[in-house]
Structure 1
Amino acid sequence: MKYPSPIPSAAGGLPLLGHLIPLLRDPLGFLTRLPEDGDLVRVRVGPLQVLVVCSPDLMGEVLRDDRTFDKGGPVFDRVREFAGNGLGTCPHDEHRRQRRLLQPAFHPARLPGYAPAITARTVEATGSWQDGQILDVFAVMQELSARITADTLFSTATPPEVLSQALGDVNTLLNAIPVRMATPRLLDRLPTRGNRRYHQARARLPRTLQHIVTERRAAGTDHGDLLSMLLTACDPDSGPAEQKLTDEEIIDQVVTFFLGGADTSASVLASALHLLGQHPEIEKRLHTEVDAVLDGRPATHADLPHLELTDRVLTETLRLWPPGWIFTRTCTADTHLGRYAVPAGTSIVCSPYPLHRQADLYPDPDRFDPDRWAPDHPCPPRRAAFIPFGGGARKCIGDRFSTTEMVLALATIVGRWRLEPLPGTPVRPTLGLALHPGGLRMRAVARIPAGTESPVNS
């Protein structure tokens, strides 16, 4: 009989505190060192114990078996406070029905219809920049991504003042996420300014969305946006009853898409611009591609097959700066992960960040190298070891939409502007719902694409 192997503990644990101090000092560095201790590692934070998955094979087991390794754990329990029971947070027994109902809204055939809103918002945002202006890059990208998400969710059918209120509340929730994920629940009710703003936004956003949904149902008009798709979605497996989403379910989905769309794409775009600023030789090649494909105009959906380097730049950015830097699962039954026995109730932690930086999976892993994703590369990366959007049945439903948005936005931005890093300005990884470059301030410099005589934005 083959007995299960003991699960190793992470190095550096202290009595009572466990691994709290290294986690607080440098959480990404701590996670990145864990594969040295094993492919499944026990980590303690005070009395709490979790298992951290450190190999692509075990990560694949967790992602494929979403019944045994269900959504749950410290991260998702906090996210459910404001995201409700949407597709990204619902348990396994509700997921398949929701996925069937929502899948048509993200069918590849609908992506060309969303592209004009993506490009229009990007042109509008960059058109307000001034040559030499210093930009808070993540804040600018977050505003852009939120506007794009709002346009694709609600088209132009929602009054601007209602949309502005919703965007303001989304921004409040996004900014509160890092603090609340690190704060004990006992402190949630303290009458601090941050708590008051959070609770007001959390209560008001669903009311605003309910008002929008009620008016849309009464009008019965298909605006060709995501909300119209959600209102008319029917479960093909529900039989004659044609099961549809309730208003509460629609609101949960809209909040999920709003938060994910605004934060994820913004984080990747800001990270890509940061990396390009640090690697002028790759930036120059990207300008050459964009100038040749776009010839001074904004990007369109038809340009996507020709923006090959743009796509690889974003793929490599997703490897080095995965926005979904951590997710958790709860083990629902006694099981095994590889050679290890895992009892029911165990919290499992998965992080793409250390996985994407393992030298045996990615040679010279800390180097920004978009060409490692080129189709003719002699040693292409293992796709199973690349999980910026998760994997298995719970893989992000909006991955193609997000990729389309980011390619169109990045190509349109770099066609018009160079963003130069500011000397002496430290940029640090900042952890919240998404990983993004904190403190990233860059100077906008108007470009003169090859073959033209004046800046594109003039």
Structure 2
Amino acid sequence: MTTYDTLSPAPTLAGGLPLLGHAPWLALRPLDFVERLRDHAPVALFRIGTRSAYMVSSGELMKDLLITHQSKFEKGGPLFEQATKLLGNGLAASNGEFHLRQRRLSQPAFHHSRMGVYARAALDAAVAVSGSWRDGEVVDLGRALNDTTMDILARTLFSSLTAEAAAEIRRCLPALVAGVGRRAFIPVEFVHRLPLPVNRREAESLRRLYEVVDGIISDYRASDLDQDDLLSTLMLARDERTGAGMTTEQLHDEIRSMMVAGTETSATLLLWAFQVLAGRPDVERRVHAELDEVLGGRPVGYADLPSLAYLGRVVQELLRMYPTGWILTRRATSPVVLGGHRIPEGADVFFSPYALHRDPAVFADPGRFDPDRWLPERAAAVPRHAYLPFGAGVRKCIGESLAYAEITLILASLMGRWQMRSVTGRPPRPVAGSTLRPKESLMRVEERRR
């Protein structure tokens, strides 16, 4: 009779070093390392220092991890432990009943009836950045897109945000986003307490961000008015079971989480889009042809999204090849069985959308950017949980629909007027930190001749 204790442990990846385990490979060649773990076994054991960890790398087991046995796992591991120190206990990091309560309270802010308002903000921000460029100039596209998504956040989250507060938030966020990745890959607390310049910058950015957000919440509470924006929706939300709303601390944590999720991830994927299309003129031409046919030279609108089918597939393929959340973790809250192997209570369990989305057993020629793999007849062959750009189950990203709409509309708006060209002439190179970013950010903008 098979019992938990008689099950075999997961196969261990070779090559671990004394005391360090596989941490050097995860730190120095992270993308190669997660693919190596995927190819080793569907559930593979490795070590970070002296601590055992598990990598889950198949669509079927992702369903078990994120849905079937989700009650036996919580957000945990080095990435989330360090993220909460900078971003608080918002939806991205909270667990259990508190997470479910916060999700219920936040849901109205992402209702489909509000998508038109958010789309208008995205298009206004895209028009603003587009109008600032000049034909032939070299721009720091990464910074421009971060400013654009920050502008969208300001228009939708805080309708009465001042220019000074928006500028202060833009100054603070980069240090905090970088700090999440740095802390996750160096999970040694005393290192982050040393009086190093990078730690001082991080602490000062966090302090300033607290002050700005606290001031915004205080002003909203004092006005006692519905501003018809995300913050007002969160402040007015009441738990249907208890009638309680969010405390100031909870609002603070949710706002900081949205600041990162609503700016860094969208801006990064947009940067990937222009980097990839610069090297794929065939794909770029098809996008331009679709834009010309659907729009006929007029500005894009939210109602046009269903007609931009090819551009939608481009976005799906970008999310497959370059998922910004390239590695994520859970922690087992009780013993559990995955793939016929025992996972002990307290174990860190990793999964990598990057490795999952590039599995050659699922995606033919996985290193090729091919939007047409998402044509309905081809996409039907992809196992449901082998493609997880926004997660699955109760932890699925609450802003998925908003992100799709925002990214597609900004691409359509900017590509209607501009073409981006590589400055280096090299294919984009990924850098895996707290997000998966292209190494290069400078691009030449050229006005499109129809």
| Greater shift in the superposed pair: 283-292 or 60-69 | 60-69
Q: CA deviation at 1:385?
A: 0.7
- Residue number among 165, 168, 173 corresponding to 2:171 in the alignment: 168
- Residue number among 187, 190, 193 corresponding to 1:189 in the alignment: 193
Q: What are the Cα deviations for residues 78-118 of structure 1, in whole angstroms up to 9, with x where unaligned?
A: 10011111011001231111111110110111101111110
Q: What are the Cα deviations for residues 174-205 of structure 1, in whole angstroms up to 9, with x where unaligned?
A: 23333333333212222222211110111221
SS of structure 1 residue aligned to 2:421: strand
SS of structure 2 residue aligned to 1:377: helix
Match of 2:151 in 1: 147
Q: CA deviation at 1:421?
A: 1.8
Match of 1:366 in 2: 367
Distance 2:291 2:82 in 1: 41
Alignment root-mean-square deviation, CA: 1.6
Distance 1:314 1:159 in 2: 32
Match of 1:417 in 2: 418
Q: CA deviation at 1:438?
A: 1.4
Q: What are the Cα deviations for residues 285-315 of structure 1, in whole angstroms up to 9, with x where unaligned?
A: 0011112222333321111111111111011
Match of 1:316 in 2: 317
Match of 2:446 in 1: 445
**Which structure 2 residues correspond to residues 120-139 of structure 1 after superposition, within 5 A?**
120-139=124-143
Change in Cα spacing, 1:378 to 1:185, as seen in structure 2 (3 Å) is closer
Distance 1:41 1:398 in 2: 31
Match of 1:253 in 2: 254
Q: CA deviation at 1:44?
A: 1.1
Match of 1:276 in 2: 277
- The TM-score with structure 1 as length reference comes to 0.94
Match of 1:72 in 2: 76
- In structure 2, list runs of 5 or more residues that go unmatched: none
Match of 1:350 in 2: 351
Distance 2:129 2:138 in 1: 14
| Paired AA for residue 99 in structure 1 | R
Match of 1:216 in 2: 220
Distance 1:75 1:207 in 2: 25
Match of 2:264 in 1: 263
SS of structure 2 residue aligned to 1:67: helix
SS of structure 2 residue aligned to 1:203: helix
| Paired AA for residue 258 in structure 1 | M
Residue pair 2:154, 2:161 contacting (<8 A) in 1 also = no
SS of structure 1 residue aligned to 2:119: helix
Distance 1:379 1:250 in 2: 40
**Is 1:37 matched up with 2:40?**
yes
| Paired AA for residue 189 in structure 1 | R
Change in Cα spacing, 1:7 to 1:412, as seen in structure 2 (3 Å) is same
Match of 2:52 in 1: 49
Q: CA deviation at 1:412?
A: 0.6
Q: CA deviation at 1:423?
A: 4.0
Distance 1:409 1:427 in 2: 21
Distance 2:209 2:20 in 1: 38
- Residue number among 194, 201, 204 corresponding to 1:200 in the alignment: 204
Q: CA deviation at 1:425?
A: 4.4
Distance 2:198 2:146 in 1: 20
Distance 1:173 1:370 in 2: 33
Match of 1:86 in 2: 90
| Paired AA for residue 331 in structure 2 | T
SS of structure 2 residue aligned to 1:231: helix
Distance 1:403 1:370 in 2: 15
**Is 1:119 matched up with 2:123?**
yes
Q: CA deviation at 1:378?
A: 7.5
Change in Cα spacing, 1:378 to 1:370, as seen in structure 2 (3 Å) is closer
Q: What are the Cα deviations for residues 41-84 of structure 1, in whole angstroms up to 9, with x where unaligned?
A: 01112212210111111111111133211011110001001111
Residue pair 1:66, 1:92 contacting (<8 A) in 2 also = no
SS of structure 2 residue aligned to 1:433: coil
Aligned length: 445
Q: CA deviation at 1:361?
A: 0.9
**Is 1:432 matched up with 2:433?**
yes
Q: What are the Cα deviations for residues 17-61 of structure 1, in whole angstroms up to 9, with x where unaligned?
A: 322332233110111121221110011122122101111111111
Residue pair 2:310, 2:371 contacting (<8 A) in 1 also = yes
Q: CA deviation at 1:135?
A: 2.4
Residue pair 1:70, 1:92 contacting (<8 A) in 2 also = yes
Residue pair 1:310, 1:407 contacting (<8 A) in 2 also = yes
Distance 1:378 1:198 in 2: 43
Q: What are the Cα deviations for residues 328-378 of structure 1, in whole angstroms up to 9, with x where unaligned?
A: 111001121131111110011111011001111111111101011112437
**Is 1:18 matched up with 2:16?**
no
| Paired AA for residue 248 in structure 1 | E
Q: CA deviation at 1:379?
A: 5.4
Distance 1:80 1:378 in 2: 36
Distance 2:426 2:196 in 1: 31
**Is 1:229 matched up with 2:197?**
no
Residue pair 1:425, 1:441 contacting (<8 A) in 2 also = no
Match of 2:286 in 1: 285
SS of structure 2 residue aligned to 1:328: strand
Q: What are the Cα deviations for residues 133-180 of structure 1, in whole angstroms up to 9, with x where unaligned?
A: 12222222222112212211012x122212221222123312333333
Distance 1:29 1:379 in 2: 28
| Paired AA for residue 311 in structure 2 | T
Match of 1:456 in 2: none
Q: What are the Cα deviations for residues 385-415 of structure 1, in whole angstroms up to 9, with x where unaligned?
A: 1101111000000011111100100111111
| Paired AA for residue 13 in structure 2 | A
